[in-house]
Structure formats: structure tokens, C-alpha cells
Amino acid sequence: PPADAGTACALTRALVTTSDFTAGGYALGALATPALMAAGGMAPDQDHIPVQSGCVVYNLLRGNDILAVLDNANLPAIARRIPLRGQVPDAGSGPYQVNPYDVLTVSPTKAYVVQFALAHVAVVNPTVDGASAITARIDLAPVRHPMDRDPSGAPEATRIVRVGDRALVALQNLSAFAPIANGTLAVINTATDALVDLDPMTNGVQGVTLSAQNPSAMTLTPSGARVVVSSVGVQAFAPPQVLDGAVEALDAMTLRPTGMRVSETAFGGDLGDVVMLDEDRGWAIVSRLASDAGAGDARVMEFNLATGMVGRTIYTASSLGGLARDPSGSVWVLDRSAGASGVRVFNADGTARGGALRTALPPYGIAFVP
């Protein structure tokens, strides 16, 4: 299993961050009998996402550009704050100068922070408080696509997973928020913190070129044998909707494509988060825009990488914020529908585990924690 899957500790609870984009909060509950209770009062940032990696629980305070390390014994209390601004000389003081998107614990004293607005991955020591926790950085410029001429210099890194002694970072390759090339996976050697060149016979540093643009989600299959990437392509916010994304899988060791690609055309909407229930079967969030053909909605839909086919619709709502698979195999779905928001839990066969778990504010992110 992947090293960041909590194998060294028992993950027994769900930590949900909530937000209505003016204020943020928390809910906490047990996995065995799904339930959620408000916890910890208001959050210091309305745009905040929890991540559990290597038994360390983080909260990405995106608007404030802070990596918060939480106190596992008193969740969601913050044990340490690592400010991420100021890593480059021309960084401003406004929000989203860094925009942390994901974090991976490599060892008890080393973690990688994926930063959407910067051209590098920050290397931090999660046991240290303050700016001195930033110990190094990994430059992503060598794998930035040559067509990406955005002044920020950032390749728009979004997700990170670990496979053995390598970390894979998903790059969206955007210019003015529009994709200009297929997505890329940068590969980092976790022992040396150096980029890995997958094709030494070609000039420069080569990563993995994905089959679609704009990767928005990445996960591993339960065995850790495959890396599954969900790419949204061109994301329209008004009709007509462009269905050019896909879910694809790579062999975790060779990083070569494996199984069948599942297209957005088959799903009938733009892709979001994805979870894998076994090596082939997964669920994805699919968003459909309103058009003359009917009202827009968001759905949890099943797919199969062995056949490339889309199956049942598991759940439909007006807005979904994400989904995650807990250690027992149940899937938690974040329903942000106006007037009916909450978390819904499903068995792997698609049956619901009770009704909605209500949250004071709409659910925004989820992590399974000790």
C-alpha cells in the first residue's frame, strides 16, 4: 500500500471542512457508525481543505497561504502553522499568492507541499512551527510545458501521490486559466528531492504526458498498483459544454498506460474527483451544465477501467464538492446542494449507509484521520 495511506496508524474518524465561501468550519465523526458533529468553532480560512498523509493531519489554508499541522489528539486544533508566502522575492501580500493544493508526508520530518501558484514544490518539516519549517524547494521549471507562457511561471501543480521512492505531481499546464497542452506528471525521487528524467535520450527533463488536458484529481487503486488520473479538459461555465477530458490509469511502477481510458463523452459531463473501489471499478463526480435539454446537475457515476464503460448513476445532486473512500471501502460524498447540504455515505455496492449527515455549513473537504 502507498506510504501515505495511514498504514502505521488506525484511521477511525472523518474530518470534514465546511465553507459557504464567507466563513469556514469543521465537523468530526466516527467511521464505524457514520455520524458528524460540529467541532472546533470557525476556521481561520473559508477556503480550507484537510489532508491526512503518513498519519499527519494537515489543513490547507488556501486563502491565507498557510499549511496548518493539526493536533491529532485535539482535532481540529492547530498545532503548528507554516506560512508559505515569501518563498519568492516578488510575492505579494494578497491571498492566493501560493495557493497550496496538496501535501504528502515523506518522512516524520519531511513533507512536500504542492503549490498551484508557484513554480516549485515546497519541502517542509511538519514538526517545526513557522517559516523556518520550509527547508528546500523542488523546481518544476524543467518539466513546465514550453507552450505555457503564463507570466506566473507556474505549471499549475494540483495533486501528489507516492509510489515507492517516487512522488508524482500532476501539472495542469494552463495559460490564463485555460489548458494549452495535455497534462503532465512530474516525477520526484523522494530520497534526493530531485526530478526524475523518464527519457534521458531526449533533451531536458521528461515527465509523463497524460492523454487529456487539465488533470484535476489523482489517486491510487487500493493495492497501489495503478495511478488513476481524472482530467477535466476545457472546463466551460456556460453552454456549450466541451467534453474532452478522461479518466485514465498508469502502471505505478512503469508509469505506462494500463486498462481502458474512460472519456467525458461517455460520462456526459465534466469530471471532478475520483475514487477507486478495486483495481478496475471506480466512481467519479460528473457535472453537467444546464442547457435546452434540461437542468444541470452533479452526479456520482461508476466506471470500469477494464472495459472503458460508464455504469450506474449512484447519486444526483445540484452541487457536489468531492468524494473520498474510507479505509473500510465506504465512499463519502460531499453534497453542497442549497438547502440540503451534508455528507452522504455509500457502501461499495452503491447502497446508502443511512441518511444525510448534516453540517452547519456546506461540506468542502474531507480526510480520514486517526
Q: What is the pLDDT of residue 259?
A: 94
pTM: 0.95
- The mean pLDDT of 194-222, rounded to a whole number, is 95
Res 273 pLDDT > 80: yes
**Mean pLDDT over the full length of the chain:** 93
Q: Could you tell me if 171 and 209 are in contact, meaning their C-beta atoms sit under 8 angstroms apart?
A: no
Q: What is the pLDDT of residue 132?
A: 96
Q: What is the pLDDT of residue 296?
A: 82
The per-residue b/e assignment along 24-42, b for 16 or more CB within 10 angstroms, e otherwise, is bbbbbbebeebebeebbee
pLDDT tens digits for 307-361? 999 999 999 999 999 999 999 999 999 999 999 999 999 999 999 999 999 999 9
Q: Could you tell me if 231 and 267 are in contact, meaning their C-beta atoms sit under 8 angstroms apart?
A: no
Least confident piece of the model among 12-26, 79-93, 182-196, 279-293: 79-93
pLDDT tens digits for 50-78? 999 999 999 999 999 999 999 999 999 99
Res 6 pLDDT > 50: no
Q: What is the pLDDT of residue 92?
A: 62
Q: Could you tell me if 300 and 315 are in contact, meaning their C-beta atoms sit under 8 angstroms apart?
A: yes
Element (H, E) at 52: strand 48-53
Q: What is the pLDDT of residue 313?
A: 98
Least confident piece of the model among 3-12, 29-38, 152-161, 252-261: 3-12
Res 245 pLDDT > 60: yes
d(CA 155, CA 175): 9
CA–chain centroid gap for 265, Å, is 23
Q: What is the pLDDT of residue 5?
A: 38
- The mean pLDDT of 156-171, rounded to a whole number, is 97
